[in-house]
Structures are given as C-alpha cells and as structure tokens.
Amino acid sequence: MPELSIEDAIENYFQYLLAERGLSRVSLEDYRSDLKKFLLYFPNKKTTKDLLSSDVYDFTVKESEAEKSPSTIARGISTLHNFFYFLAREGYMDSPGDHVERPKQPTRLPVVISRDEVEELLDAPDPTNPSQCRDKAMLEVMYASGLRVSELCALKLKDVHFASSTITVARGKGAKSRIVPISPFALEWLSAYVNGPRKENKGRKSPYVFLNKDGDPVSRQYFFQQVKHYARLANIRNAEAISPHTLRHCFATHLLEAGAELRAVQEMLGHAHLSTTQIYTHVSSRRIYEAYRAFVTRK
C-alpha cells in the first residue's frame, strides 16, 4: 500500500473537494479546522500508514473530553470519515467503516424576529451616510431574497437583474446556481447605493456589488458586526443573538406564514433537501401558537 505524508494527503483531499465536489473555500476552511484539531490531538500521525479506522473514535473521545458541543463533534466525525474514505478510495488506507455513533444533536429552532422588528432593523442605518446606505441596501436585499451572507458578500453586478426583479445566485453550496426573485422595494435601495455611494468608491470598476472603503468586497465578518450594531441601535430584543442569518430565517418563516409553498421556499433558499427547509414550519407553527396563546389568555 503506497504511503503519503499527512500534509500531502490533506492537500490532495482539498483539491478533490474543490475541483470535483465543487465545495466553497469557506467549507474547506471548516474541514481544514477539523483536520488540524485531529493532528493536534495525535501529533505522532505523520503519514497515511499511521492512520487507523479507530482514530475516528479516539478523536471523538478527545472532543468529548474537551466538552465540545454535539454539533461540533458530529461535524468532526463526518470530516474524518470523509477524509478516510477518500484515502481508502485512493489506495492509501483500508476502508474506515462506520463504527462511531454520532452524538444526538438537540433541535435548535432558528432565531426569528417579528415583521415589525425586521422593519426597525432595516430602518436603523442612515441612508444619507455612504457606508450606511450600503448597509441599508445589504439588509434590504438579504431580507428580500433569503441569501446566505457569503452569497450576499459575493454578489456581482451582472447577477442583479433589475428588469425582471431577480438575482442569479451562482455561489451557493455545491457551486449550484439558482434564480431568486427580489422585491422592487429592495431593488430601489440597491439602485440607490449602486448609482450613489458606490460610484464614488475607489473600487467602482469591481464586479462585486457591495464594497468597503478600500474598494474590496465587504467581508462576512464586517457585515456580521454591522447587523448586531443595527440591532442594538433599533433596540431589538435579544440583539446579541441577531446575525445576518437571522434575516435569512425571517425571510423563510415570514414567507411560510404568508402561505408560500414549502417547495418554493426550498428553491429560493437553495436547500438541497426539503427536510432542511421544514424546520421553518416548526418556527412558523410555534409563532402562531404563541400568538394564539397570548390572545386567549388576555385580560
């Protein structure tokens, strides 16, 4: 059986994920983080001949001792299994099997705020300020389209179709493209930014829509911080729990509450499996029940 250094094996695996599986670089960084932890736990693993199927179980024990969350442990198990199966397919080790039971993960319902709270959040930026005009457009587009924050930051001018009120999302998970409708109201704010502050930006010739002061695409980390800032500014309840993903959750939940079909919401969100979208039906049902309970118990 041929032998390969662990570092070379990992790089070969990432090339495979990038070229053949079409995974994003964000996903690759998650995988790299898991494999880096594995090597930190077991520094004596130098080549593929040192790898054993039992390493997955040993890794799980280490993560449990470190009191990592069930979701973190489950992701690490999945990463190692997939890496080992790749090496087995390439002839560098025996098939690892599947002998480790993944920890059960509690079902966590997404954080969703009311329509009124969303409006307060969207109105928090000052559109007369150039950077806040951009933030306002980003918030409006995200809530109106349900984009992932990575998709929002990577949005290109050519993918915004003002005439048809649609956006082509070409950088979703698995490199799959989809067309998402967007409200004319959100497009008005997007147009105000594109034809206003963006024209004065040093990166105005950039293909990306949303730019920072240096002309580069706005980062996910920056937008994450800004959403929290505006949530605090708008006095949104539990503002520290609000994130860009909250707007994606609200987009899906509010659509379902308005009577949208689950399959249509699935397509707009870019979910590969309907089961992923179904969690929003639980959120919607819970919110309806809470509203009913508040009604019947009123004084």
User: 232 pLDDT exceeds 50?
Assistant: yes
Work out the widest C-alpha separation in the chain, in whole angstroms: 76
Q: Which of 32, 81, 220, 245 is the catalytic position?
A: 245
Q: Read off the pLDDT of residues 159-205 as tens digits, 9 standing for 90 and up.
A: 999 999 999 987 544 456 889 999 999 999 999 999 999 999 999 99
Return the sign of the alpha-carbon dihedral for residues 180, 115, 136, 248. Answer: negative
User: What confidence score (pLDDT) does residue 201 get?
Assistant: 96
Residue 136 is a catalytic residue: no
Lowest mean pLDDT across 122-126, 133-137, 279-283, 288-292: 288-292
Q: Which two tokens stand for residue 121?
A: 């959040």
Known catalytic residue at 173: yes
pLDDT value of residue 108: 59
148 included as an active-site residue: yes
Catalytic residue among 173, 178, 220, 287: 173
List 37, 75, 228, 271, catalytic entry: 271
Domains and CATH numbers, the chain: 6-89 (1.10.150), 115-296 (1.10.443.10)
pLDDT at 283: 57
- d(C-alpha 249, C-alpha 243), whole Å: 10
- Higher pLDDT pick, 150 / 215: 215
pLDDT at 214 (0 to 100): 95
Write down the pLDDT at residue 292. 40
Render pLDDT for 12-42 as a digit per residue (tens, 0 to 9).
988 888 777 777 667 778 888 889 999 999 9
φ/ψ of 163, rounded to 5, equals -65, -40
Q: Is 68 a residue of the active site?
A: no
